[in-house]
Structure 1
């Protein structure tokens, strides 16, 4: 059976063993996502006989229009790894099993539209509803605060504009207006650095309260965006840098792959 991995060739010259691993790995990785427009895996091994020892020269995965946990949209995601060791016998049961964890260079692209959609997700809404803050209790009559109708606009040079609303016992639709710089903290958190209140369009009689609530909202955001809450099955993402590019937010880092999903 293993001779098929090292001898058969397709009409395009691609080794049958590589084709088999590509197919099995693609199906496994698809299970990471609730939905996907396209997922493609390319595994290379030369000479093909190295597959008998489970040695792979390179592993590349790319995905487009992905949905994580049914609510978080990713425009593009890619992993690239070298020298991956697998258990070749696992292929016979339609699986890919790693002999040891491996690291891959990773890139993730989010769109402005996808980020705004994420703020409507249940997991995020739980962090914005009934927020208890001693600093705001004097304005809310001692009641928790809820931030709603969050809108995000990506700006050049890693800047971001965030608008939202909140309600007080004596005033509805108190505006939240903030500009901040988005940075990576400890490779796993997204921080909204140097938040600045934007008073444009805010009525004079509510401007002071609006600024206080804007600063409190920035604190809530800085406690919320932690990649560990979004880990994929068997894959842990860590970030080295991010940048805004038009209406996209591009993350670069690495992925620790402990096992393939479903294995």
Structure 2
């Protein structure tokens, strides 16, 4: 019986589903530098199925999750069905999948999350790979706003080469997804001087080349987005996560 198995473990006061929920929640939380709230819930009926590593479903909800690269996620929800795990690995605090699985996914980013992301060294370094007329670019004070007409507005001060005065970038774009993995800025409108408009268009092309989810996925996972919605000052992604092995903290260096 499950109770007999747990009777000789440090988790003797917990059922098998509670134990797996705790370990899985801690393992996912460890992928982030900081989390305001983490909840994991394993479903198995009867609980004895866990001894064979069989789980009917697994739900995860996280809030205020700060990644190690500085990016922040306001809310993340994952819903898995029929997961097969190595139950023995749970006792060492690890989650190992016996076979690949997939999860329904909902991710929420606020205006502040987007602004913070565009100002992290992780993103700034990628933006500054773009050269304009053979000169380097230096981004400062980038700000992201979500407009009432469900668009994204980005403003930034950009120094070109050794210039003393920055060029003020200001553009508005809608957000779309191609091939379920490429987030794209579309229907772009750039404001300002001719130089600012030209630089803005070059930057949009560069950003669109970067926003491939395969470049940002954690090791052993594949993210796919079905739709993106802008609502209540937040950008919401709906899609799926294909999980081939439980991810480690380290991001793959694909970009």
Common fold: TM-score over 0.5: yes
Q: Describe how 1:183-222 pairs up with structure 2 within 5 A.
A: 183-199=176-192, 207-222=193-208
Q: How does 1:30-69 map to 2 (within 5 A)?
A: 30-69=29-68
Distance 1:93 1:173 in 2: 54
Is it true that 1:167 corresponds to 2:159 in the alignment? yes
Structure 1 length normalisation: TM-score?
A: 0.83
User: Corresponding residue for 1:180?
Assistant: 173
1:20 and 2:12 matched: no
Whole-angstrom CA distance in 2 between matches of 1:3 and 1:197: 63
The structural deviation recorded for 1:225 is: 2.2
CA deviation digits over 1:4-23, x for unaligned, max 9? 28899xxxxx9711111111
Q: Is the 8 A contact 2:2 2:47 kept in 1?
A: no
Structure of higher CA gyration radius: 1
Taking the aligned partners of 2:5 and 2:186, their CA distance within structure 1 comes to 54
Pair 1:5–1:157, CA change in 2 (3 A): farther
Alignment counterpart, residue 234 of structure 1, candidates 212, 216, 220: 220
Is the CA contact (8 Å cut-off) linking 2:119 and 2:140 kept in structure 1?
no
TM-score, normalised with respect to structure 2: 0.86
Structure 1 gaps of 5+ residues are: 9-13, 200-206
The residue aligned with 2:28 is: 29
CA distance change for structure 1 residues 250 and 45 in 2, over 3 Å: closer, same or farther? same
After TM superposition, the runs of 4+ consecutive aligned structure 1 residues lying more than 6 A away are: 5-8
Query: Deviation string for 1:100-152 (max 9, x for gaps)?
Result: 0100000100111011111111121112226224xxx2xxxx52333432211
SS state at 1:237 partner? strand
User: Residues 96 and 103 (structure 1 numbering): CA distance in 2 closer, same or farther, change over 3 Å?
Assistant: same
Flag structure 2 segments of 5+ consecutive residues without an equivalent: 8-12, 250-255
Return the alpha-carbon distance in structure 1 between the equivalents of residues 90 and 220 of structure 2. 18
Query: 1:131, 1:224 → 2: CA distance?
Result: 11
Structure number with the bigger relative contact order (C-alpha 8 A, sep ≥ 6) is 1
Give the C-alpha shift of residue 63 in structure 1: 0.5
Distance 2:139 2:208 in 1: 14
Residue 80 to residue 208, structure 1, CA distance change in 2 (3 Å): same
Pair 1:78 & 2:77 matched:
yes
Quote the RMSD (CA, aligned, Å): 2.5
The alignment partner of 1:52 has SS state of helix
Paired residue secondary structure (2:94): coil
Distance 1:256 1:221 in 2: 25
